[in-house]
Amino acid sequence: MRVADGRLRPVSSPYLAPDEQDEPFDDTPKEACGVFGVFAPGQPVAHLTYLGLYALQHRGQESAGMAVSDGEGITVVKEMGLVSNAFDDRTLTALSGDLAIGHTRYSTSGSSTWRNAQPVYRGVDHVEFALGHNGNLVNTEALAAEAGMLPGTVTSDTDLMAELLTTSLLARPDLEPGAAFEAELSDVLPRLHGAFSLVFADRERIIGVRDPNGFRPLCLGRLDGGWVLASESPALDVIGAHFVRELEPGEVVIIDRTGCRSLHPFDPVEIDPRLCLFEFIYFARPDSVLYGQSVHHARVRMGEALAEQAPVEADLVMGVPESGIPAAEGYARRSGIDFGHGLVKNRYIGRTFIAPTQALRSSAVRMKLNPLRDNIEGQRLIVVDDSIVRGTTTRSMVRMLRDAGAKEIHLRVSSPPYRWPCFYGMDTGSRGELLAANLTVDEIREYLDVDTLSYLKLDHLLEATGAVGAGFCSACLTGEYPIEIPANLTKQVLEHPDDPSAPERAMPVLGDDLERGLPVEEAARLFDRT
């Protein structure tokens, strides 16, 4: 293997692009990753992958990488930080080849380190491939134990998948590489439980895989002289590829010089489409297409449904930038109340903000959002947001609007209450950190200090997607998990398999210093439940 030099930089590196990072006061849901693959002989595949990853940057900002094959070997380049931090023109020009895969990461399994950056690589004897993964397995510990792996042998579920496949391939030296790859994928993939949209690359082909539930998106595109795989359709648009279709749950697509063909290695009884509902609510870009539906138009319809479900007299409808704006537009359209902007988003704030005093830390939200006082003062506001997870940011935002002179604040949320943690590739915290898991809707209203609060009902949300009956996972809203979750599942299960003191699978309790405790603790104080 040829691995380009990659230096380990902290995630808070000053090189990180400002608006595309996870701010310490941002308690929105966090996605797992974005994946991309291109097979296009004679074209600058590294540059195409770079552009594709840029279009998927919103799905992960911890690290970025790509693997490029020239038919003789695979070169891997990966770096902590954003796509722009990992690659420059000199690096891309040197990465010549016919095919490539790429990855942007947000860690939901394994620590945020250079070792866990993707694509992961394996090169032993006749085996050489790279792998990128979007999602999260739920049976990592069982698989590692079954394979007899010592603790620390692998440090993420992606690393585990690569190791399992390598072991299987090494046992088949009698087969031609392509045939061996297909045979062993058909053996290994059915053993994986959870969410996995994958891109593989060996020297001659790229392969796309979507799990039997289709938790995470993956689509196929056509490029002049080639093919493209991507987590979302805008990554096809940016390189001039034409959207062909979404991969089916349980489908494996193999792309090489002979063309594009499909395998279906999973038992048909396991095929149960369950696309993450939050792809429509929040994760996917508004210009993405999922289940054949425009994500932007779906979010507008969510706002329209909210206006019908929870009308209220007001002077202005505003959305929380950026993700709440389409639903706010829909609410305004259906209600007949004027739409306007009440908050200005600072697009140039980075992750590096570390304040020396509580007073400065309490200003963290204002660094990102600042009110338009002329639009707010004396007004009855309808504020539309996509979700409330821990509530720290929302509570601070409400105080900001009150300080700017808002007469009334009516909060409308374009999703149901978020009550359960996700284990399929979304990092939202433990139940103790989820506001709606510990408070009633009326208590949340009081906690946030809004005049009224309404969440979109689940059936109205499903209807708004435009894909009723297509199949969704709503476990974070209902607690009904399509795949059974092991009781001991943690983010670092492979790094600390038997350590009860290992970090819990939860996003850091950061936020501003207006409330340092978890929502459940704050609720106990607020509602005298001590």
Give average pLDDT by consecutive 10-residue segment, the chain, 530 residues. 38 31 49 89 97 93 93 94 90 95 73 73 91 93 84 81 92 84 93 97 97 98 96 98 98 97 96 97 95 98 98 98 95 98 79 47 70 96 95 92 97 97 82 92 97 98 97 96 79 46 33 41 63
Please indicate, yes or no, if residue 431 is contained in any of the structural domains: yes
User: Contact at 8 Å (CB) between 519 and 434?
Assistant: yes
User: Contact at 8 Å (CB) between 240 and 287?
Assistant: no
Q: How many Cβ atoms sit within 10 Å of the Cβ of residue 442?
A: 9
Please indicate, yes or no, if residue 102 is contained in any of the structural domains: yes
Please indicate, yes or no, if residue 286 is contained in any of the structural domains: no
Catalytic entry in 33, 219, 276, 476: 33
* Main-chain dihedrals φ then ψ at residue 134, nearest 5 degrees: -120, 120
* Main-chain dihedrals φ then ψ at residue 129, nearest 5 degrees: -160, 165
Q: Do 406 and 510 fall within a single domain?
A: yes
Task: Determine if the peptide bond prior to 322 is cis (ω within 30°).
Answer: yes
pLDDT value of residue 123: 92
Please indicate, yes or no, if residue 413 is contained in any of the structural domains: yes
Check which CATH number belongs to the domain holding 217 and give it.
Answer: 3.60.20.10
Q: Which of 273, 303, 326 is the last residue of a domain?
A: 273
pLDDT value of residue 348: 66
Interatomic CA distance for residues 203 and 70, integer angstroms = 7
Please indicate, yes or no, if residue 282 is contained in any of the structural domains: no
User: Contact at 8 Å (CB) between 17 and 54?
Assistant: no
User: Contact at 8 Å (CB) between 91 and 78?
Assistant: no
Please indicate, yes or no, if residue 280 is contained in any of the structural domains: no
- Sign of the four-CA dihedral 346, 348, 353, 357: negative
Q: Do 300 and 267 fall within a single domain?
A: no
Please indicate, yes or no, if residue 249 is contained in any of the structural domains: yes
Tell the residue number behind the tokens 């489908």, with chain if given.
251
Q: Do 319 and 268 fall within a single domain?
A: no
Q: Do 402 and 477 fall within a single domain?
A: yes
pLDDT value of residue 522: 64
Q: Do 265 and 308 fall within a single domain?
A: no
pLDDT value of residue 380: 98
Structure tokens at 61: 């900002």
Global pTM value? 0.86
DSSP reduced 3-state for 241: coil
Orientation angle between helical segments 441-448 and 392-403, nearest 10 degrees: 50
Q: Do 208 and 327 fall within a single domain?
A: no
Closest residue by Cα to residue 428 from 158, 113, 26: 26
- Sign of the four-CA dihedral 87, 350, 157, 207: negative
Tell the residue number behind the tokens 């805008």, with chain if given.
234
Check which CATH number belongs to the domain holding 468 and give it.
Answer: 3.40.50.2020
Q: Do 343 and 410 fall within a single domain?
A: yes
pLDDT value of residue 131: 96
Q: Do 389 and 493 fall within a single domain?
A: yes
Residue 266: domain span? 2-12+32-273
Q: How far is CA 76 from CA 3, 79, 112, 271, in A?
A: 5, 10, 18, 33
Interatomic CA distance for residues 41 and 66, integer angstroms = 17
Q: Do 235 and 151 fall within a single domain?
A: yes
CA atoms within 13 A on the CB side of 442: 1
Q: Which of 244, 273, 302 is the last residue of a domain?
A: 273
User: Contact at 8 Å (CB) between 57 and 104?
Assistant: yes
Q: Do 266 and 305 fall within a single domain?
A: no
**Which residues on neighbouring strands pair with residue 63, listed in sequence order?**
80, 105
473 is an active site residue: no
Interatomic CA distance for residues 427 and 424, integer angstroms = 9
Q: Do 500 and 442 fall within a single domain?
A: yes
pLDDT value of residue 215: 97
Domains held by the chain: number: 2
Cα–chain center distance at 257: 32
Please indicate, yes or no, if residue 27 is contained in any of the structural domains: no
Q: Do 231 and 316 fall within a single domain?
A: no
